[in-house]
Amino acid sequence: MITHYALAHHLETKAEREREGERARQKRGRVEMKGNSSSIVFTTITIIIFGFSAIVNSQTDSCSSSLNLQSVTLPFDATSLHCHAVWDSQNYILRYSETTPGTWTFVLSAPAANSYIAMGFSSNGQMIGSSAIVGWISSTEGGVIKRYYLGGTSPNLVEPNKGNLVLTNFSFITTQASTVYMGFQLVTEQPQTKLIYSVGPTGMLPVSPNYRLNEHFNKVSTTINYITGQTSSTGSPYTRLRRSHGILNMLGWGILMIIGVIVARHLKSYEPLWFYLHVGIQSLAFVFGIIGVICGFVLDNKINADVSTHKALGIFILVLGCLQVMAFLARPDKVSKSRKYWNWYHQTVGRLLIILAVANVFYGIHLGEEGTGWNAGYGVVLAILVVIAVILELKLWFRK
């Protein structure tokens, strides 16, 4: 009896030890698995972080990275180039140095895109009259670099293979790690300090044989100190004069004249208030217009811009305004037989003046490169005036 009890106790103790051993092995397994999982997660996160950093570094250029172009043999020491971010919004990086006496080397980098990149040298900070180096990479011709002379704002005045820049035989444009690099060398004692950078519209590259440039998508004008490397964005010269010219002409010929016409057309029942309002508003518009034209002549004399069409339209509008003033002074009486013909003349000249003025205002905004804000603002004012005129015309028509 005792023997059977001892044997049963021995077997029970052995089974308990085996169960405890199994539980211990499972616990060690869970610990090892947890440790392995933590190692795997940590390794994965590390790989992702380093991979992401590698991708970011491969896609953007910066002055903290050395210039190492694998597809280009540089005839100078790349470490001698000064490096500065010159256009933050477009990620333009400029490297430059006087690599040999009288020879300046420039390497401009930008994010690779299906558009041209350009760097211009200007005497006054304006695009017109400056010379530029423009480069792009196309699927048919590969990398192309050309000089351009910016003689005006229209494409036919931007002439390839012209300008006052003297280049050496060394130039290149290449793409590496999602960045396009354009390099060239100028033969000059001192490059011009006013630099202009631009980027072309996407998908509209110059093509042979004429290599005409489409209007840039965006641009910036800067000034650089080649000794310190300090750069600063600069506004166009005579900005205040240019905007005064535009605002005065817009307000005079393009807004007040229209309001004066609406008053004369739809307030005839308020005799003689409508007449004094009409004369007063048109007189103020004429004064603003004359001052705006004078500002335009002064601006043209200072910058010598190629704006012949805009200038001709402005002079013609001024002549029409003077004719209206003379017509007012020679206005016949209401009972005169010639009053009907005078009305035809006065209304026809006034409408022609307003149509040409509105067109010339929009054209001037385009020439001044003021952007969509000015176009949108003036367009909204015109839309309001048109809506008011239409409502008043409908009321007049229903009344009749």
What pLDDT, on the 0 to 100 scale, is given for residue 57? 41
Taking residues 381-399, report their average pLDDT. 91
Of 49-63, 299-313, 331-345, 377-391, which gets the smallest average pLDDT? 49-63
Tokens encoding 83: 């490096």
Per-residue pLDDT band for 370 (boundaries 50, 70, 90) equals low
Q: Looking at the predicted structure, is the pLDDT value of residue 221 above 80?
A: yes
What pLDDT, on the 0 to 100 scale, is given for residue 322? 94
For residue range 168-181, what is the model confidence (pLDDT) as tens digits? 999 999 998 889 99
What pLDDT, on the 0 to 100 scale, is given for residue 236? 53
Contact 61, 67 (CB under 8 A): no
Nearest to 111 by CA among 59, 40, 160: 59
Q: What is the dihedral of CA 99, 105, 108, 112, to 10 degrees?
A: -100
Tokens encoding 68: 């190492």
What pLDDT, on the 0 to 100 scale, is given for residue 55? 37
Rg (CA), the chain: 37
What pLDDT, on the 0 to 100 scale, is given for residue 17? 63
What pLDDT, on the 0 to 100 scale, is given for residue 227? 85
Taking residues 207-218, report their average pLDDT. 86
Tokens encoding 115: 């558009």
Of 103-112, 137-146, 197-206, 361-370, which gets the smallest average pLDDT? 361-370
Identify the bridge partners of residue 94 per DSSP, sorted by sequence position.
84, 108
Q: Looking at the predicted structure, is the pLDDT value of residue 261 above 70?
A: yes
What pLDDT, on the 0 to 100 scale, is given for residue 52? 35
What pLDDT, on the 0 to 100 scale, is given for residue 66? 81
What pLDDT, on the 0 to 100 scale, is given for residue 233? 67
Q: Looking at the predicted structure, is the pLDDT value of residue 305 above 80?
A: no
What pLDDT, on the 0 to 100 scale, is given for residue 16? 61
d(CA 357, CA 386): 15
Q: Beta-strand (E) ranges in 205-276?
A: 218-224, 231-233
For residue range 91-131, what is the model confidence (pLDDT) as tens digits? 999 999 999 999 999 999 999 889 999 999 998 888 888 99
- DSSP, collapsed to helix, strand or coil, labels residue 149 as strand
Share of the chain above pLDDT 70, in %: 82
For residue range 53-68, what is the model confidence (pLDDT) as tens digits? 443 344 467 888 888 8
Per-residue pLDDT band for 398 (boundaries 50, 70, 90) equals confident
What pLDDT, on the 0 to 100 scale, is given for residue 235? 53
What pLDDT, on the 0 to 100 scale, is given for residue 11? 47
Per-residue pLDDT band for 330 (boundaries 50, 70, 90) equals confident
Question: DSSP string covering 276-309, please?
Answer: HHHHHHHHHHHHHHHHHHHHHHHHHHHH----HH
